[in-house]
Structure 1
């Protein structure tokens, strides 16, 4: 009897000592509490990220095709395995079919040119005089006659579709868009189809140098086979409701990435990388206590003109938009051959996303990360709706952007993990109980 009482007393004292020595150890039934940033990011598995990217890049995932649908099925199954209820949001969009032929010929010249079409370049054969028009802005057409001519303009922080429309308004019959320096002329996009577009081709600086000697001469621009057709796609999304027992809010934090690619491109960087990181963040956060609603979105048909993200935002209620405090857009976040990590916003201004991400970057690397200007990805519709949103991307882009060479061997596990850590820490700061953050 006395021995039993003594044993119970010892066990009681031992439990007190263990509790005192390990104040951060929490045993919970259900969602776990992350006791520090390190606790959270150590749960990230870069091998899972890489394996997901390998699965997605078995073939191109062109929007509106069976391969894109198969990618959506794969993501759905993975998310269901993690315990989520998956929402599929179907939508119809206008799918652009790339031209089968593009050509540029200059009368009296032996030079050869290698122009590239823009996504949404319209078909047509145009012969006319070559004429320069600076940066292609409205003011650059003052005092010059471009009626029926082929204008040559240089890219300088202006959306490509604006360059084409300004040339069209001025009366030009076609436009050649010069990419200065070493900027690649891979398939950039005009955003969406427009009846006001004129035939448009991108030319490298090397081709521009040859072309400059022929300003005033006749040239012929040819684009054949480009067309627009109706197609179907889908967004995949999951929602994690607040799980803290107290101090919960009705705010929403969003992580998003598009999972489609362009024709012929396996799309390892663009955008199996962002998709795979987002999927890993979904796995990691599934059983973590949060005070805010967390949504993780996978957009279809981004490459065709942000159709997926525009569809998602258009279906949000005004209350949901008002409650959304941050949108992290992951697009091309693993290329070993691109530039440095950039956080870009539509207006180039800081917001809740850039502030939290810069702090996370400083925590990881000891220095801050500035905010750059950048659109043309799925953060744009959220920004336009009034939601703080930013794009995570390595820039300048790699040479094989939108090319068949965008393959798995070009991805860096270190870069994939870096973005995953930054977004994980930022989301931790925005969604977890105050007493769980250190």
Structure 2
């Protein structure tokens, strides 16, 4: 899952409060217990889901690499075995290569530091005075002279890329961004490359405390080997046509997940889990007669900036966009160590995805599932095109998110199956003929 992940925690709290106060979409008929317990939903095989995740997590699936291509080939083969005609949508994108070296030194200080680069940190070696720039907001620089200095800021309430750009515009030559205690510092991104960036490193709370006691010393920030390369990836696509009696203007329901991972992470939760569930849904739906067109998508290069889903949406015709009534995005849907299941939309509002999914969740679990804000995955381009879209994810994320510890043994079969049933029941309710729902 892309992080796509540069908000700080209090912003999410406000978002949740706003969601609770926002007007809700009128509830329509959705999947009840009968649909949840239908023979079709009961055909879902969690062992197949888990086996797919095992296959995908043999090595990281970094976008633009041979391992991502091998994952795509595996998905294509499985879909063809199920009887689908598989489409491949190639595209190019800019892939960020992480630095070979990062370092922070203080003149006359004998201790050591362990800073981490951001995804999209730029290379450079900078020596200068340290300056406390508060929370790194634009108004913080109105009170200080940062010209030629290295800004030290504490994360509070803005995007990381904005912190870097504010410092750069104020004349700082590098920036050190301090994270609150117990927050990981090696999983964050600036979102995309910018020629206006200055070298940026993340500081743990422990390192920040050392720095704060030595602000009078000159510092040297070093980032080497970071670069942006042109790379290639691909989306994998299958379409299940509706009953022959339906006309060409029939609605479209979309189910999707990204299959790439970040460097050094096997990506079991992020996102072999979502990919494996979507593949199993494809198997279940193959021989089901539906009244709507069903599109099943596997996106490449999500971790690099939602490139796959952006490519897919950009290639849709106006008619396809108009006919697309729902997009279910599955990202990180199996971690045993994450929080509870959440359903998230870009605007925090209920829509054609959240309503049936919430009703399916209630039929399974006996309690309700609220809609939260969330704009950090492949549902975003669909939302921006005007298509009702939502993300299913277990949240808060597990502590080894984007880490080598994101391995197959961390997945919960019960959680994988729960999401598979929710999406299956919701999609069946939308696409089955009325007399098939009995």
Q: TM-score, normalised by structure 2?
A: 0.86
Pair 1:389 & 2:389 matched = yes
CA distance in 2, matches of 1:200, 1:145: 19
Whether the 8 Å CA contact 1:244–1:290 is kept in 2: the answer is no
Whether the 8 Å CA contact 1:186–1:401 is kept in 2: the answer is no
Give the 5 Å matches for 1:263-278.
Answer: 263-278=263-278
Cα displacement (A) at 1:133: 3.2
Q: Deviations over 1:165-190 (max 9, x none)?
A: 23222322222233324332233222
Aligned length: 405
The alignment yields a C-alpha RMSD, in angstroms, of 2.2
Q: In the superposition, relative to structure 1, how do residues 210 and 423 fare at CA in structure 2: closer, same or farther (>3 Å)?
A: farther
CA distance in 1, matches of 2:107, 2:182: 27
Q: In the superposition, relative to structure 1, how do residues 142 and 301 fare at CA in structure 2: closer, same or farther (>3 Å)?
A: same
CA distance in 2, matches of 1:423, 1:414: 14
Correspondence for 2:128: 128
Correspondence for 1:76: 76
Q: In the superposition, relative to structure 1, how do residues 344 and 226 fare at CA in structure 2: closer, same or farther (>3 Å)?
A: same
More divergent stretch after superposition (211-220 vs 375-384): 211-220
Correspondence for 1:282: 282
CA distance in 1, matches of 2:181, 2:388: 33
More divergent stretch after superposition (300-309 vs 144-153): 144-153
Correspondence for 1:398: 398
Q: Deviations over 1:284-307 (max 9, x none)?
A: 111222221111111111111111
CA distance in 2, matches of 1:435, 1:111: 73
More divergent stretch after superposition (202-211 vs 49-58): 202-211
Equivalent residue of 1:68, what SS?
helix
Correspondence for 1:6: none
Q: Which runs of 5+ in 1 are unaligned?
A: 1-33
Correspondence for 2:413: 413
Equivalent residue of 1:427, what SS?
helix
Pair 1:95 & 2:95 matched = yes
Equivalent residue of 2:195, what SS?
coil
Q: In the superposition, relative to structure 1, how do residues 244 and 311 fare at CA in structure 2: closer, same or farther (>3 Å)?
A: same
CA distance in 2, matches of 1:177, 1:316: 40
Equivalent residue of 1:36, what SS?
helix
Cα displacement (A) at 1:395: 2.1
Correspondence for 2:427: 427
Pair 1:296 & 2:296 matched = yes
CA distance in 2, matches of 1:242, 1:399: 42
Q: In the superposition, relative to structure 1, how do residues 99 and 322 fare at CA in structure 2: closer, same or farther (>3 Å)?
A: same
Pair 1:355 & 2:355 matched = yes
Q: In the superposition, relative to structure 1, how do residues 187 and 242 fare at CA in structure 2: closer, same or farther (>3 Å)?
A: same
Correspondence for 2:366: 366
Whether the 8 Å CA contact 1:50–1:413 is kept in 2: the answer is yes
CA distance in 2, matches of 1:135, 1:375: 23
Whether the 8 Å CA contact 2:36–2:364 is kept in 1: the answer is no
CA distance in 1, matches of 2:340, 2:215: 37
Cα displacement (A) at 1:270: 1.2
Structure whose CA Rg is larger = 1
Correspondence for 1:37: 36
Q: In the superposition, relative to structure 1, how do residues 245 and 267 fare at CA in structure 2: closer, same or farther (>3 Å)?
A: same
Correspondence for 1:14: none
Correspondence for 2:311: 311
Give the 5 Å matches for 1:321-332.
Answer: 321-332=321-332
Q: Deviations over 1:116-173 (max 9, x none)?
A: 2111111111222333334333333332222222223333453322332232223222
Q: In the superposition, relative to structure 1, how do residues 108 and 47 fare at CA in structure 2: closer, same or farther (>3 Å)?
A: same
Correspondence for 1:183: 183
Give the 5 Å matches for 1:88-237.
Answer: 88-156=88-156, 158-215=158-215, 217-237=217-237
Whether the 8 Å CA contact 1:248–1:291 is kept in 2: the answer is no
Equivalent residue of 2:253, what SS?
strand
Cα displacement (A) at 1:280: 0.7
CA distance in 2, matches of 1:314, 1:364: 36
CA distance in 1, matches of 2:180, 2:344: 21
Q: In the superposition, relative to structure 1, how do residues 48 and 274 fare at CA in structure 2: closer, same or farther (>3 Å)?
A: same
Cα displacement (A) at 1:75: 0.2
Higher RCO, 1 vs 2 (CA within 8 Å, ≥6 residues apart)? 2
